[in-house]
Amino acid sequence: MRRVLITGGAGFIGSHVADVLLRAGYEVRLLDNLSPQVHGPLRQRPAYLNKDAELIVGDLTDAFSVDRALRGVDMVVHLASSVGVGQSMYDIESYVRANELGTAILLQTLTKRPVERLLVASSMSIYGEGLGRTADDQVVSPEERSIDQLKRCEWELKDAQGRHLVPLPTPETKQPSLSSIYALNKYAQERMCLIAGKAYGIATIALRFFNVFGPNQALSNPYTGVLAIFAARLLNDRPPLVFEDGLQRRDFVHVRDVARACRLALETDHVNDVFNIGSGRSRSILSVAQDLARVMGRPALAPHITGKYRAGDIRHCFADIEKSRAILGFEPRVGFEEGLDELAGYLADQVADDQAERATEELLRRGLVA
> Would you please indicate which residues are annotated as catalytic (active-site) residues?
182
Residue 332: in which H helix or E strand, if any? Answer: none
165 in Cβ contact with 142 (< 8 Å):
yes
Rounded CA gap, 256 and 208, in Å?
15
Sign of CA dihedral 134, 139, 140, 142: positive
51, 215, 217, 288 from 36: Cα distances, Å: 21, 19, 14, 28
Residue 37: in which H helix or E strand, if any? Answer: helix 36-39
Rounded CA gap, 170 and 314, in Å?
13
Sign of CA dihedral 58, 62, 66, 67: negative
340 in Cβ contact with 291 (< 8 Å):
yes
Rounded CA gap, 182 and 95, in Å?
7
Count of CB atoms within 10 A of residue 42's CB?
7
21 in Cβ contact with 91 (< 8 Å):
no
172 in Cβ contact with 323 (< 8 Å):
yes
Backbone angles phi, psi at 255, to 5 degrees: -65, -30
Residues in the chain: 370
94 in Cβ contact with 84 (< 8 Å):
no
